[in-house]
Amino acid sequence: MKSAYIHIPFCEHICHYCDFNKFFYHSQPVDEYLNSLEKEMAHSMEASGYPELTTIFIGGGTPTSLSAKQLERLLDGIITILKPSEQLLEFTVEANPDDLEAEKLTILKNAGVSRLSFGVQTFEDDLLKKIGRVHKQKDVLNSFDRARAIGFDNISLDLMFGLPDQTIDQLAASLDTALSLAAEHYSIYSLIVEPKTVFYNLAKKGRLHLPPQDREAEMYELVMKKMNEADIHQYEISNFAKKGFESKHNLTYWSNEEYFGFGAGAHGYINGIRTVNVGPVKQYIDRIDSSGFPYKETHRVTKNEQIEEELFLGLRKITGVCKTRFFKKYGQSLDELFPDVLHSLEQKGLIKNTNTNVCLTHTGKLLGNEVFQSFLGEL
């Protein structure tokens, strides 16, 4: 049982914070890309013996920037080649609120897409403009209502905090608006300024005014408080859901399970090998044409690396790392492998180490990176 991530690297515009592999839709050979994507999926599935998939996730870029005809073609290809069965637990598509008309929503619904993830980021129009988004609050509300009317009953809203000049009151207002929609899932991340982004260049020039670190921590505290009060439980550091609506696809990553990565710039993890596809669309198409596979990098993960990743990823989950599962997977005890690290983190109040699992404390959630990095290189 495996998952599949499919990357659509096209956008109508480029957001100031985004470092994902993406290109302007109108300057790219989109139809040729879809041809190559189908070939990659077919070659990979054949080479792997057509495993049964548990989840499919189409991300980007902006998958819904495709025309209705291209979107329908993409979904037809996925269904024909990946052959999702009745065992498919979740089929997610990322969507921008400003390009989600009824025709595209209907195409998604008819193809069996069961979950939508809206890239909202904030409900404050002035902040949306500052971060390079072109939609407004009204577009989100209209698209959300439209999706509900067409029958989507599993919708996730992506929000951000720590944005330029963002205040606590603005974040509170955005959270209140988001919760008023009664979505099933919320992903709420702090802004990270990544290289090769507009924000990175502004920061280098001293022109990016972000909230101080203590204010950002206060914002995260507010996020957790409001979600808890709304009975939207936190199941991962940045993710909150109604019971039963946790993202099954993303849990694949955090549980360190294997998945296909299809498309330009996509990452995969199959049969113990991590792969990275080439990013530029033309290079991707050329490599598919020449060899059927677009890998830029491949790396067989050692056992020690798997163990480190198990902790780095698993501790993001609120339930943490299950000791029984860890032992079954690696044949070694977590307490025996990392006695000093576990003791140190527990003394600092960053983790709880019980007979059954290791998980973050409330303080540990605020200092997650410190916890994760403690395990790196220990073996």
Taking a C-beta distance cutoff of 8 angstroms, is the pair 108, 80 a contact?
A: no
- In tens, the pLDDT along 151-202 reads 999 999 999 999 999 999 999 999 999 999 999 999 999 998 888 888 888 8
All CATH 1.10.10.920 domain ranges in the chain, comma separated: 303-374
Beta bridge partners of 92: 57, 115
pLDDT, one tens digit per residue, over 347-363 is 999 999 999 999 999 99
Q: Is the pLDDT of residue 208 over 90?
A: no
**Does position 25 have pLDDT exceeding 70, yes or no?**
no
Can you tell me which residue has the tokens 């979950």? Answer: 115
CATH classification for the domain delimited by 2-254, as one of 1.20.140.10, 3.40.50.720, 3.80.30.20, 3.40.640.10: 3.80.30.20
What is each CA distance from 54 to 42, 84, 85, in whole angstroms? Answer: 18, 8, 9
Residue with tokens 């089929």: 91
- The one-character DSSP state at 350 is S
Mean pLDDT, residues 331-337: 95
3-class SS of residue 133? coil
Stretch(es) of the chain classified as CATH 3.80.30.20:
2-254
pLDDT at 65: 92
Is the CATH number 1.10.10.920 carried by domain 303-374? yes
Task: Name residues whose C-beta falls within 8 Å of residue 156's C-beta, 6 or more positions apart in sequence.
Answer: 92, 115, 116, 117, 118, 183, 184, 185, 186, 187, 247
DSSP 8-class letter at 112: T
Crossing angle of helices 102-110 and 68-82, in 10° steps, is 10
Q: How many helices (H) and strands (E) would you count in the chain?
A: 16, 17
Q: Which residue has the higher pLDDT, 15 or 190?
A: 190
For 80-127, write each residue's pLDDT tens digit.
Answer: 999 998 889 999 999 999 868 999 999 999 999 999 999 999 999 999
Q: Please, are residues 329 and 349 in contact by the beta-carbon 8 Å criterion? A: no
